[in-house]
Structure 1
């Protein structure tokens, strides 16, 4: 089913679901990539208020969630940090055909909580004036893969990979930097840019030409009025505004 047709069907289902809120409220189990967790929690609260459904969020690395879902983990919706895993789940017959869609475009930054530490061109990577550089595991996390691509594009991967402190996901990479276990690190702009708050520290806004576009896609794993309503809500302009305010692009 084409995505546009799928979303039209979801919109109709949402209307029916909202009409029957008091009669039947469900739990929706959502697996979400670490970088999108904060934005999703805000959206989930709005959705819960509007519908009466409850959203239970499981946060982790996209690669790990993918493996869990393939082994039968009981998730209803999967918000990945890439497009590859949702594509695979659809091709493998695990996800609902035609339900895959792009919900956000991720942005990579080199960040330190110290003001003035990271320059706006990322030259600190060349000077090497640091002991540890945090990145997410490139094999598990799309943001880690993007970080590796940036270092390779600058000819620094072989030089700096021994200094890399690798988190299982982008959330761990961010914590390494925030806690001081690494002086700086490649993180998601959404982790630095919170809605209604000024960005802290210093950062290099990494040019998107240096890494593969981080197209974050979601896919339905279970078909129900509640999950359909949630996906429709995610595609509403109200939810898209929250996504943009959280440091992402939207399709």
Structure 2
């Protein structure tokens, strides 16, 4: 069986939004065990991947942090029409590595008790855009903007907070919600009513169109085991 699998095994070049890198690592192990196919994963900001794909980067599959980018890539001929689907609904949290720093209502944002708030670049990262929407909804955009530390991606925003370079920051719930473990530090799970729904879509790119392994990965993402992993990291579906 193993020999039969490896004889037809392929490698899938995957571009994945930084917030989904952790869940994908777990899914990849199960996928490889089930199919023999392996993944070559690059994690980063969705906007950056869009620019790379348009410039000819040889990715087979994109796991975006939004639904707009896959639609755009299809419209522009860089992705396969009809292959896109929503694999997760992202959840935004305001997080601090310090216990007790962030309250459960997010009132700390208006308190003036912090010098730096980390946020992913709103022009490149949907979670950064969502963070800005929250500040605007709370009427705090002008007051907080001078304190913003802009990161290239959501993973860099997380690093700024984790290392203490920013006291708090807007990150993805999946980055702090490790399955089976309590969330460290302190956090406010931002009500979805304060930001636009973060629909995260996957899409088959033109480079992966003739690769059975790429199609197999997208099919596996819809399976019950994969969905269970995605939910365990705090995503909606």
Corresponding position: 1:233 with 2:187: no
1:207 equivalent among 184, 191, 194: 191
1:58 aligned to 31, 42, 48, which one?
Answer: 42
CA distance in 1, matches of 2:190, 2:180: 23
Answer yes or no: is 1:172 the counterpart of 2:156.
Answer: yes
Q: Which residue of 2 aligns with 1:5?
A: none
| C-alpha deviation, 1:211, in angstroms | 0.3
The one of 71, 74, 87 equivalent to 1:90 is 74
**Whole-angstrom CA distance in 1 between matches of 2:4 and 2:203:** 25
Structure 1, unaligned runs of 5 or more: 1-17
CA distance in 2, matches of 1:156, 1:36: 28
Q: How does 1:20-39 map to 2 (within 5 A)?
A: 21-39=5-23
Root mean square deviation, CA, Å: 1.2
Q: Alignment partner for residue 118 of structure 2, among 134, 145, 149?
A: 134
| Correspondent of 1:78 among 62, 74, 82 | 62
Residue 196 of structure 2: SS of its match in structure 1?
coil
- Work out the CA distance in 1 between the residues paired with 2:231 and 2:107: 28
Whole-Å separation in 2 of the counterparts to 1:209 and 1:24:
47
Q: After superposition, what is the alpha-carbon deviation per residue over 1:69-113, rounded to whole angstroms, capped at 9, x for unaligned?
A: 000000000000001100100111110110000000000010101
Structure 2 distance, partners of 1:232, 1:19, is: 22
- Which secondary structure does the structure 2 equivalent of 1:21 belong to? helix
SS of 1:115's equivalent? coil
Q: What TM-score does the superposition give when structure 1 sets the normalisation length?
A: 0.91
Q: Deviations over 1:93-141 (max 9, x none)?
A: 1101100000000000101011111000011111110000000010000
Unaligned stretches of 5+ in structure 2? none
Report the TM-score, using the length of structure 2 for normalisation: 0.96
Q: In the alignment, does 2:226 pair up with 1:242? A: no
Q: 1:106, 1:220 → 2: CA distance?
A: 20
Q: Which residue is 1:121 aligned to?
A: 105
Give 2:141's aligned residue.
Answer: 157
